[in-house]
């Protein structure tokens, strides 16, 4: 038995920050496919609400797979898996995809469950979005279960769980922090010089966001920037998908690499706090602009400042 297969069998649960934008979600999906996917996996379940990035993650894990709920609104009809027992020949698909929430509007759950089990018996692989909705109709759990919220959670269920409902409670609750953080980050970008947007990198933290700069600290009045963002939040502008590279905030068009991952209006951003200092990251030699959202944002900010000031005493490179 190979080391990777032993690692998969002993996997309980691992988690990643769900990154901003399609490209980073594709990369994460590719890494997860290499690390956790086994050739013997027949049933792979995804859990997560609309806008969480499930489709991008699936594209990364299974390059070339045709999704039956394409984001551009072109839905594959009839659903290929419903004909799995009638399809014959060399060119029949090896991997099927279905979105249970969407398909339940057209087909009874027990019929979808029967089609899934038929495909598994024929040694096909089935990728199921909103797996929690079909699990009560299936005699078995998924071989690999992936939840997408503020974090991407990967687990390999056994007889003792976890059940999809356990991941639902985690990812559906946490997704709102990711939506708020991504929208707040875009509001910061709107009020920054375009030159800074071109050179900044994006990282993810719990209940917040990071904008990183390599060569020197950005020339930004952080107090003014926080004030402008809070004015946008108070104005409660609508936030809407424009195209695959842009969102609209009120009447402003803004470039965004993850245009589907936002709150619906700026007023839904709770507890926005911008760190009043640019923090130097000694491990990666970067200057960090950091923001927090949510009901515990002030506590998170104070914890960050206490930590950074401790580091400053050893190597005083903090820029106000």
Which pLDDT does position 91 carry in this prediction? 60
Spell out the residues 6+ positions from residue 225 whose beta carbon is closer than 8 angstroms to its own.
188, 191, 192, 274
Spans of the chain, pLDDT less than 70:
1-10, 70-77, 87-91, 311-320
d(CA 238, CA 249): 6
| 284 to 21, 126, 213, 230: CA distances (angstroms) | 22, 40, 11, 30
Please tell me the predicted confidence (pLDDT) of residue 319. 41
**What pLDDT score was predicted for residue 85?**
77
Instruction: Tokens for 264, please give them.
Output: 């619906």
pLDDT of residue 316: 47
User: Which residues touch 221 (CB under 8 Å, ≥6 apart)?
Assistant: none
Whole-Å CA distances, 135 to 125, 149, 252, 320 = 16, 19, 43, 52
- C-beta pairs of 138-142 under 8 Å, 24+ apart in sequence: 138/113, 140/43, 141/43, 141/45, 142/43, 142/44, 142/45
How many whole angstroms separate alpha carbon 295 and alpha carbon 300? 10
Domains and CATH numbers, the chain: 3-162 (3.40.50), 175-314 (3.30.980.10)
- Intra-chain end-to-end CA distance of the chain, in Å: 54
- Longest Cα–Cα distance of the chain, Å, equals 71
Q: What is the pLDDT of residue 80?
A: 84
- What pLDDT sits at residue 79? 84
Q: How many CA atoms lie within 13 A of 113 on its CB side?
A: 15
What is the Cα 32 distance to its own chain's centre?
13
pLDDT given for residue 84 in this prediction: 82
Burial of 198 (0-12, 13-18, 19+ CB in 10 A): exposed
């Amino acid at each position: 038995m190979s080391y990777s297969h032993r690692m998969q069998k002993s996997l309980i649960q691992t988690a990643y920050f769900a990154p901003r934008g399609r490209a980073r979600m594709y990369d994460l999906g590719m890494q997860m496919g290499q690390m956790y996917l086994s050739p013997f996996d027949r049933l792979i379940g995804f859990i997560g609400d609309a806008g969480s990035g499930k489709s991008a993650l699936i594209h990364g894990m299974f390059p070339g797979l045709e999704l039956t709920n394409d984001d551009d609104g072109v839905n594959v009809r009839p659903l290929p898996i419903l004909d799995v027992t009638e399809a014959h020949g060399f060119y029949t698909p090896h991997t099927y995809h279905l979105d249970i929430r969407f398909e339940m509007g057209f087909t009874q759950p027990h019929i979808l469950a029967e089609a899934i089990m038929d495909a598994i018996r024929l040694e096909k692989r089935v990728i199921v979005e909103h797996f929690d909705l079909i699990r009560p109709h299936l005699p078995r759990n998924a071989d690999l279960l992936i939840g997408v919220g503020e974090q991407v959670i990967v687990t390999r269920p056994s007889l003792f769980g976890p059940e999809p409902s356990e991941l639902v409670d985690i990812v559906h609750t946490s997704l709102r922090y990711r939506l708020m953080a991504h929208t707040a980050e875009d509001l910061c970008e709107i009020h920054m010089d375009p030159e800074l947007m071109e050179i900044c990198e994006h990282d993810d933290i719990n209940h917040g966001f990071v904008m990183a700069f390599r060569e020197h600290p950005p020339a930004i009045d952080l107090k003014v920037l926080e004030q402008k963002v809070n004015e946008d939040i108070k104005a409660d502008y609508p936030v809407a998908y424009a195209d695959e590279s842009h969102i609209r905030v009120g009447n402003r068009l803004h470039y965004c690499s993850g245009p589907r991952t936002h709150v619906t209006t700026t007023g839904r951003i709770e507890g926005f706090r911008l760190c009043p200092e640019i923090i130097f990251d000694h491990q990666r030699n970067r200057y960090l602009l950091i923001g927090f959202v949510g009901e515990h944002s002030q506590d998170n900010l104070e914890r960050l400042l206490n930590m950074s000031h401790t580091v400053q005493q050893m190597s005083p490179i903090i820029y106000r």
